[in-house]
Amino acid sequence: MKKEILLIVNPCAGKGKVNKYIPDICDNLEKQGYELEVIYTSEKNNGENIIKNYIRYIDSVIVCGGDGTVNEVVNGILKSNRKIDITFIPFGTTNDFAKTVKMPNNPYKLSRKLSKYKKINIDIGRFNSKYFYYVAAFGLCANVSYTTKQNEKNKFGRLAYYKEAIKSMRKIKTYKTTIVTDNEIIKDEFIYGGITNSMSIGGFRWFKKENFKVNDGIFEVILVKKPKNILGLMKVLFSILRKKYDQKNVYYIKSGHLQIEFDRDVEWTLDGEYGGTVNKVIIENNKGKMGLLVPCNKKL
């Protein structure tokens, strides 16, 4: 019996050029014996709604898009309470999680070799009533991925994010925060917080490979305090990029559960998209919650 695959395509992905790849991707999959249904996302019909309408009829999902489209599909699957496997062809601007799980950059490679891919179970984060698969973040530059205009992304790619990030640094906000983790209670003032299941955030690799797993039931957590001046901020940023964290200004912890409370409403980003504005949030790691198809020759 042929497997039914739903191919969900974000037409804006890949600097708007994703559409030229779809015919060959479909042809490759059909040659391997898969039955295909191709649906394009739109403002009114996002990935979550598409999954809601089609999940009863499919065995797995392939996403052609960026981190935000994958997030929509993940939310659709988990809220349906039906277990199906997911995989994706990364057409986004940064493709952070794709780097972590070593998905191929070649847009045709997955469609040519999907039958040889293996399934791994990855952790999924729950953010109050929503889900995220690789990062929940607040504060400095966290909103850059969705405040950057689409035409700027299409024209400049990752450079458009850097431009927006520089603008956001002109007005650095500080958040009085209380965080309850698995092992401690933290009370401090932060300019950034990131809870992640990815080695890469914002196009940069943050963590050492030997300290990281996508299915250990534990999040990597980075919390950044406000330095005294711009030179101090640059020192903090370089310490993070070198993975040698400035202990005076950076908390690096691991936790499977976090309860976070601010002194006011704070805007959050989930997988590069707007995640809501709240002053209290409970974040939980759902260990091995979702099946992800990845290349067999990659060790994770």
With bands split at pLDDT 50, 70 and 90, how would you rate the model's confidence at 84? very high
State pLDDT tens for residues 91-111: 877 788 888 898 998 889 999
Mean pLDDT of 22-42: 94
Query: Model's pTM, two decimal places?
Result: 0.86
Question: With 90 as the cut, is the pLDDT of residue 164 above it?
Answer: no
Predicted confidence at residue 205, as pLDDT, reads 73
For residue 219, give the nearest of 253, 251, 243, 261 by alpha carbon. Answer: 253
With bands split at pLDDT 50, 70 and 90, how would you rate the model's confidence at 139? confident
What share of the chain in percent tops pLDDT 90? 56
Question: With 60 as the cut, is the pLDDT of residue 161 above it?
Answer: no
Provide the angle, in degrees to the nearest 10, between the axes of the packed helices 47-54 and 67-80: 40
Predicted confidence at residue 216, as pLDDT, reads 94
Mean pLDDT of 182-197: 93
φ/ψ of 66, rounded to 5, equals: -100, -165
Of residues 289 and 226, more confidence is placed in 289
Structural contact between residues 181 and 257, judged by C-beta atoms closer than 8 angstroms:
yes
Of residues 31 and 173, more confidence is placed in 31
Question: With 50 as the cut, is the pLDDT of residue 166 above it?
Answer: no
